[in-house]
Amino acid sequence: MSKPTFQRWLNECIVGFVNYSEDDLIRLLFKSDIQSIPHGSNLKQAIETTLNKGSSKLDTDKAILMGFLEEHLTSLTKRLKAFGHTNLAFRNLIKLFQEERGYAYINVVKEYAKKLFGEGIKSSNLGEIVNSLRMFISSCQVTRPLPYSQVIGLYYALNMAFKTSFRINNLQNFTSLLRIVNNEHSKLPSLDNYPKAQQVEFKYYEGRFHIYEQELNQAEECFDFAFRLCDKDSFRNKRLVLRYLIPVRAYKGIFPTQALLVKYKLTDLSEVLTSLKQGNIELFNRTLEANQDKFIKQGIYIMLESLQLLAYRNLFKRTQSILKTTHVKLSSFSTVLAVAGVKSISLLDVECILVNLINKKWIKGYISSSQKTVVFSKVDPFPKITEISD
Amino acid sequence: MDLPQKRSRFSEEKLKIIQEFYKQMPQLNPNPAMYPYMIAPDPMPIWPHPPQQQQQHKTPTSANEKLKNYIARAFTKCQTDIEKDLMETFIRDIITRKKNAGLFFQEDWDKTEIPKLPREQVTITAGPSLEVPKIFQPSSKDQIQKRKSRFEPIELVEDSKPRNISKEQNIDEHNKEKIKKEILSEWKIIGTCKELEKPFFRLTSKPDPKTIRPESVLKKALAWLKERWRKGEIKYEYFSDQLRSIRQDLTVQGIRNKFSVEIYQAHTRLALEAQDLDQYNSCMSRLFELYKEGLPGRVTEFKAYQIMYFTFQHLYIQLEKCLKALNGVEKKSPEIKQAMEFKRAILLGNYHQVFHIRPNLMNSGNHLLDIFMPKLRVLSLLKICKAYQPSISVDILTKELGFNHLSEAEAFILENGGVIEAGYLECRPSLLGLRKSSLIQTKT
């Protein structure tokens, strides 16, 4: 390449890659030598050693790469400084905001909070934002009525705090923050008075929190509310809400139509859900493993894993309807599973699964271990999951 | 200030004529008592002058020059940009401190010391050339004996009083952070002590290098302690105390390498064996910090422990964080595959699978299971009692719940309120008893 194209390429690299983390940089530059560089080590040293090993790269490339990496490293330190300054500035803004007439600054505060969040992501320093956001929230808790008081910014601030805590994967502050708003004795204005966007976001984060606390009924309420209130045209938001609403509803036995999944482009969930409906355990395991990375990133994986019991329940329902007796031998279940292709299931495994199903009240009946049979009740042995009061 | 000149309607000649005309007119002299507003006010300045500088705030020029020289001297010492930034902060600190104390103008800048950069820190090595500080000059034999006894191993008494943990923890954390920052910026200690066993004391200030052991001694100490542990000479509390002192010596000297990783790994495994969850958690957090820096170690083993621990404690958000952090390489390793199977079994409540995997659990996973096993067993017994009727033989239960002998199983069930008749667990009557069992009432 000639000199001016070199320079252009360099400049584009520097401008474009400045937002990359070290891991991504390593992957880009040394696609072949990833495993030789230890994870997270000092970039400069590592690259020097790999270059000096005698690879077939020219001296000009070396110089370019080293210069490029120096720029990257210095930009990281500059970014930390920038973050520190924005943090201080934000806190001083909030002091202004706290004054009597300060509510007029709400739009400035919102913009600045967004900027602070962006800076935090770039410098990967989100944990320090939490304290300044808490200041923001406490400054919003004012008893003067809407709209001429600082309470305008309450839900915006709360949503920001939730966003950061989900990014850091640290939900310790959540309960205390939720208590501010959900308290019966709080004199703060209710959620209805705020714009729809903030309401939807708030309920979305609240629902996700309830999932982690395993309060599935409340989670379903939150996501339902968010989905209904969400604007018709905001495709992305609806999709996000659905991504969590569908597994939560699947626990209750309510499945979405194929049309809905296609409309919102959630087809990776469709196979999983059909396997659940049919009771096809082999397919369920296969699709979960195939999409494991995706589901872990989206935060649904653990929920979907625990839905395996539903697949067993549906399979056993089918077998019982074929056999048409109330007394079913355990061996018949194990043969069914063997035929379906599930490997290495013994009688004891089957017993254990049935014990769990009976405890969840998804099966009405009991197991007699002496006769190795399951005795189903005559009336409604597999009750509808939606009708089970849990 | 010069205001822009107004362009008048009349030329100069005409203005003169007009002025002469007005002079001839009778002059009006209103009575100021009648028309007070006709009195012209004091002449206002056209532009407000800045307030006159008070002599107090003026810095004398000679001091200014000295300051400038001082700053110039300080910056010539710096070699890189980072050092220049550091120097800037130091000088600012000094200036603000002096201003607050009121000594700013009395300061002789030519004589003040330039603040020291980290690369110039004098490394303290105790040697024969240094004088013994005056405080520690033992005179009598008794005193010498007492000072020697500092380094002898102290056996901890087992029944120590329970401490008020919360307050101490807060103060300790605050101190820890302080000390961490100090270590990173100021200290550079190389120890000289050669004792293999040293008790653990929390640091509040800079320690004496004579009490700190260098890395070679620490390695020997670890091997020595491991031998004693194998022979059964020392108990868990003593061993963990010694390990904590080794860890402290490492952090004070700023050593972060393979050996430090080894120590933390050994301490976590030990804590799991002894079912000490506090120590386990603190060790794990430090271990993963070291792994982040790129130090080698048995990463898969400890990530597997984390996965199992979080599923037991129902901390799903941290479990997800764990899972997200797994590489493709790590996911294929046998330890993590086993941990994932285990996690699934616990999520689904599949006790059979759990105890099926148990004999094959790698490394110290068994010890981790042992901590949570009693509660797991009682919960699964409850499930069994709800599902089976009228009774289930205790033989099957021993296999399902991983007991070694029938007698063990019977003893466990009877302890927790179960009802056994002729080798069969009676389901209906045991329900009440099992629900009241103490293992379920506790939160952990």
pLDDT at B394: 84
Task: Find tokens 């807060």 and name the residue.
Answer: B170
pLDDT at A221: 92
Establish if B340 belongs to a structural domain. Answer: no
Residue of higher predicted confidence among A2 and A227? A227
Together in a domain, B185 and B285:
yes
Domain boundary among B297, B327, B359: B297
Half-sphere exposure at residue B264, Cβ-oriented, CA atoms within 13 angstroms: 26
What's the one-letter identity of residue B243?
L
Pick from A39, A170, A355: which is nearest to B384 by CB?
A: A355
Give the neighbor-by-neighbor strand order of the sheet with A365-368: A327-329, A373-376, A365-368
Report residue A385's pLDDT band, with 50, 70 and 90 as the boundaries: confident
Domain boundary among B297, B322, B348: B297
Q: Is the pLDDT of residue A321 over 60?
A: yes
Establish if B331 belongs to a structural domain. Answer: no
CB pairs under 8 A between A and B: 84
The answer to whether the CB atoms of A170 and B317 lie below 8 A apart is yes
Half-sphere exposure at residue B17, Cβ-oriented, CA atoms within 13 angstroms: 5
Half-sphere exposure at residue B409, Cβ-oriented, CA atoms within 13 angstroms: 20
Q: Nearest CA to CA, how far is B350 from chain A (Å)? A: 6
The answer to whether the CB atoms of B294 and A41 lie below 8 A apart is yes
What's the one-letter identity of residue B45?
P
Please write the tens of the pLDDT for every residue from B228-273.
Answer: 888 888 888 888 888 888 888 888 877 778 888 999 999 999 898 8
Burial A366-385 (b: 16+ CB within 10 A, else e): bbbbeeebbbbeeeebbeeb
Establish if B81 belongs to a structural domain. Answer: yes
The answer to whether the CB atoms of A296 and B388 lie below 8 A apart is no
Domain boundary among B258, B274, B297: B297
Mean pLDDT for A279-298 is 89
What domains can be seen in chain A, in order of their start residue? 310-387 (1.10.10.10)
pLDDT at A2: 44
Q: What is the largest CA-CA distance in chain B?
A: 141
The answer to whether the CB atoms of B352 and A348 lie below 8 A apart is yes
Establish if B311 belongs to a structural domain. Answer: no
Together in a domain, B182 and B287:
yes
Residues of chain B contacting residue A367, judged by C-beta atoms under 8 Å apart: 387-389
Please write the tens of the pLDDT for every residue from A206-215.
Answer: 999 999 888 8
Count of CB atoms within 10 A of residue B352's CB? 22
What's the one-letter identity of residue B270?
L
What gap in Å lies between CA B208 and CA B252, rounded to an integer?
11
Domain with B184, as residue range(s), is 178-297
Q: Is the pLDDT of residue A191 over 70?
A: yes
Domains identified in chain B, total number: 3
Say if pTM beats, i.e. exceeds, 0.90: no
What's the one-letter identity of residue A144?
R
Kindly report the three-state secondary structure assignment for every residue of chain B.
CCCCCCCCCCCHHHHHHHHHHHHHCCCCCCCCCCCHHHCCCCCCCCCCCCCCCCHHHCCCHHHHHHHHHHHHHHHHHCCCHHHHHHHHHHHHHHHHHHHHHCCCCCCCCCCCCCCCCHHHCCCECCCCCCCCCCCCCCCCHHHHHHHHHHHCCCCCCCCCCCCCHHHHHHHHHHHHHHHHHHHHHCCCECCCCCCCCCCCCCCCCCCCHHHCCCHHHHHHHHHHHHHHHHHCCCCHHHHHHHHHHHHHHHHHHCCCCHHHHHHHHHHHHHHHHCCCHHHHHHHHHHHHHHHHCCCCCCHHHHHHHHHHHHHHCCCHHHHHHHHHCCCHHHHCCHHHHHHHHHHHHHHCCCHHHHHHHHHHCCCCHHHHHHHHHHHHHHHHHHHHHHHECCEEEHHHHHHHCCCCCHHHHHHHHHHCCCCEECCEEEHHHHHHHHHCCHHHHCCC
Residues of chain A contacting residue B391, judged by C-beta atoms under 8 Å apart: 369
Task: Find tokens 């976001």 and name the residue.
Answer: A201
Mean pLDDT, chain A, as a whole number?
Answer: 80
Pick from A35, A40, A356: which is nearest to B350 by CB?
A: A356
pLDDT at B231: 86
The sign of the torsion formed by the CA atoms of A74, A80, A83, A87 equals negative
Q: Is the pLDDT of residue A33 over 50?
A: no
Establish if B330 belongs to a structural domain. Answer: no
What gap in Å lies between CA B263 and CA B266, rounded to an integer?
5
pLDDT at A160: 93
Mean pLDDT for A249-271 is 90
Together in a domain, B188 and B103:
no
Establish if B30 belongs to a structural domain. Answer: no
Together in a domain, B92 and B190:
no
Please write the tens of the pLDDT for every residue from A221-233.
Answer: 999 999 999 988 8
In tens digits, what is the pLDDT along chain B, a chain of 444 residues? 566 666 777 788 888 887 887 777 766 665 666 666 655 655 655 555 555 544 444 444 555 677 777 778 777 777 777 777 777 877 787 777 777 666 666 667 776 767 766 665 544 443 344 443 444 444 555 666 655 555 544 433 333 344 444 444 455 555 555 555 555 555 566 777 777 777 777 777 777 777 778 888 888 888 888 888 888 888 888 888 888 888 888 888 777 788 889 999 999 998 988 888 888 999 898 898 888 777 788 888 999 999 999 999 888 888 888 898 887 888 888 889 999 999 999 999 888 888 888 888 888 888 888 888 888 888 888 888 888 887 888 888 888 888 888 888 888 888 887 778 777 888 888 888 888 877 777 654
Residue of higher predicted confidence among A63 and B295? B295
Residue of higher predicted confidence among B192 and A40? B192
Establish if B57 belongs to a structural domain. Answer: no
Tell me if chain B has a CB within 8 Å of the CB of A353.
yes
CB A162 within 8 A of CB A205: yes
Tell me if chain A has a CB within 8 Å of the CB of B119.
no
pLDDT at B133: 40
Together in a domain, B182 and B279:
yes
The answer to whether the CB atoms of B388 and A40 lie below 8 A apart is no
Please write the tens of the pLDDT for every residue from A331-377.
Answer: 888 888 888 888 777 888 888 899 999 988 888 888 888 888 888 88
Together in a domain, B280 and B182:
yes
Report residue A203's pLDDT band, with 50, 70 and 90 as the boundaries: very high
pLDDT at A47: 54
Residue of higher predicted confidence among A118 and A12? A118
pLDDT at B161: 40
Residues of chain B contacting residue A302, judged by C-beta atoms under 8 Å apart: 316, 319-320, 347
Establish if B83 belongs to a structural domain. Answer: yes
